[in-house]
Amino acid sequence: MERRTWLAGAGLVAAGKALGANDKVSLAMVGLGGRGRDHIGFYATLPSANIMAVCDVNQAAQERGVALVEKLTGKKPKVYSDMRQMFEDRTIDAVSIATANHWHALSTIWACQAGKDVYIEKPASHNIYEGQQMVAAARKYGRMVQVGSQSRTTQHKVRAMKLLREGVIGKLYLAKGLCYKRRPSIGKKPDTAVPAGVNWDQFLGPAPLRPFNELRFAYNWHWFWDTGNGDIGNQGVHEMDIARWGLGKNELPKSVVSTGGKFVYDDDQETPNTQSATFDYGDVQIQFEVRGLITGEEGGLPLRDGHTIGNLFFGSEGYMAVDVGGFQVYRGDKHEKVMDEKFREAKAWDSAPHMDNFLQAVKTRQRENLSAEIEQGAMSAAMCHMANTSYRVGRKLTFDAKTMRYVGDAEANRMLTREYRKPYVVPAQV
């Protein structure tokens, strides 16, 4: 039985209750790894949040999640191993999802069908097709779906993007995203028996069934194509989103070319640790770089804890550098620094304002008030997927944004989606 049919039969499609301005939003956390526990910590600081339930396929992660909720809120949450059972709970208004990337689309679609609003971690999807289906589900069921691109609620970045629109560096012609995040080698490990307390079938979900391997579990799933999208789709999607945001581009580019490789290390990682991508919009260009090895500063973006992560925007009259610490504006041929705004918010990577933006939209039902609504998040994720597809097929790709297909390239078009492992299928009709 298809998930949509099962939910409709259970009477859940129209679930959800009207919330007043002072009501708390009843929340469930899905995925209780490091980022999922971050979610708990951030929501626990928000007056509008009531954490009612937690869900993970790993019993040890469940126990850590429960302990953290109890510590921060004084209340013991309900515990689920299967998100499908959790979605049946009519007392839950919204879910906050921090699973591996390959689960983002299906968990979001199921939640929308069950009448839940959704905060989904970046990247929105594991492939381009999934992003389209997530948008369709959000629209069909009238759900608020926010992607975890917290830069869109970070005030100094909001101000920087506004200044670009106002012409602070003249006519824009280029945006560059830098994801120089130092990554150690993951090494090599043999397949083993599935650890006690782990539902490996559910962890793999839509991905092919493989023997358990520690390197494909926990954080390192990012570096395998079955479950992750490399660092361009991990850290890099933040900077990709900012590049597109700064240029004011609400469509996908005409073409992409991406090259790179996995250099220096001899390990089991599949995704590149060094990658360059160029996206052509005709009137402007986006360039993107991933470096997981030792690197340095660039364009006024400093090294922070061994990383150089941020964005550079170039215009007819100067350039701007933006990162977690603030932004700087340089003008003229002598690169005179005319603005230097430092980060003035509570914590550099605080997602609480972004999550609060989501909670307020859950109450008001105004999706236009979401800082990173699913349509925007899916578009930025799609650019990461385009770069990875070009890298994997080894050639430049032309893209038709109207048909959402690559022009004359069957191999690349097969990578728009994947072969889903039943019953974990992202449906064609949501």
**What six digits make up the tokens of 169?**
């560096």
For domain 155-347+381-414, give the CATH number: 3.30.360.10
For domain 3-152+351-373, give the CATH number: 3.40.50.720
Query: How confident is residue 2, by pLDDT bands cut at 50, 70 and 90?
Result: very low
The percentage of residues in the chain with a pLDDT greater than 90, rounded to a whole number, is 92
* Count of other CB atoms within 10 angstroms of residue 394: 9
Q: Which residues contact 162 (CB under 8 A, 6 or more apart)?
A: none
Query: How confident is residue 391, by pLDDT bands cut at 50, 70 and 90?
Result: very high
Q: Are residues 97 and 107 in contact, defined by beta-carbon separation less than 8 angstroms?
A: yes
Q: Are residues 262 and 269 in contact, defined by beta-carbon separation less than 8 angstroms?
A: yes
User: What is the rounded average pLDDT of the residues 120-146?
Assistant: 98
Report the greatest alpha carbon distance in the chain: 68
Q: Are residues 111 and 118 in contact, defined by beta-carbon separation less than 8 angstroms?
A: yes
Burial class (CB in 10 A: 0-12, 13-18, 19+), 16: buried
Phi, psi of 419 (to 5 degrees): -85, 115
Query: How confident is residue 19, by pLDDT bands cut at 50, 70 and 90?
Result: confident
Domain ranges in the chain are 3-152+351-373, 155-347+381-414
Query: How confident is residue 14, by pLDDT bands cut at 50, 70 and 90?
Result: very low
Q: Are residues 178 and 311 in contact, defined by beta-carbon separation less than 8 angstroms?
A: yes
Pick from 107, 69, 127: which is nearest to 203 by CA?
107
> Does the pLDDT value for residue 9 go beyond 60?
no
Pick from 180, 173, 175: which is nearest to 160 by CA?
175
Residue-level pLDDT at 263: 98
**What six digits make up the tokens of 417?**
């989606």
First-to-last alpha carbon distance for the chain, in angstroms, is 14
Quick: pLDDT tens for 155-191.
999 999 999 999 999 999 999 999 999 999 999 999 9
Quick: pLDDT tens for 246-284.
999 999 999 999 999 999 999 999 999 999 999 999 999
Q: Do domains 3-152+351-373 and 155-347+381-414 have the same CATH topology?
A: no
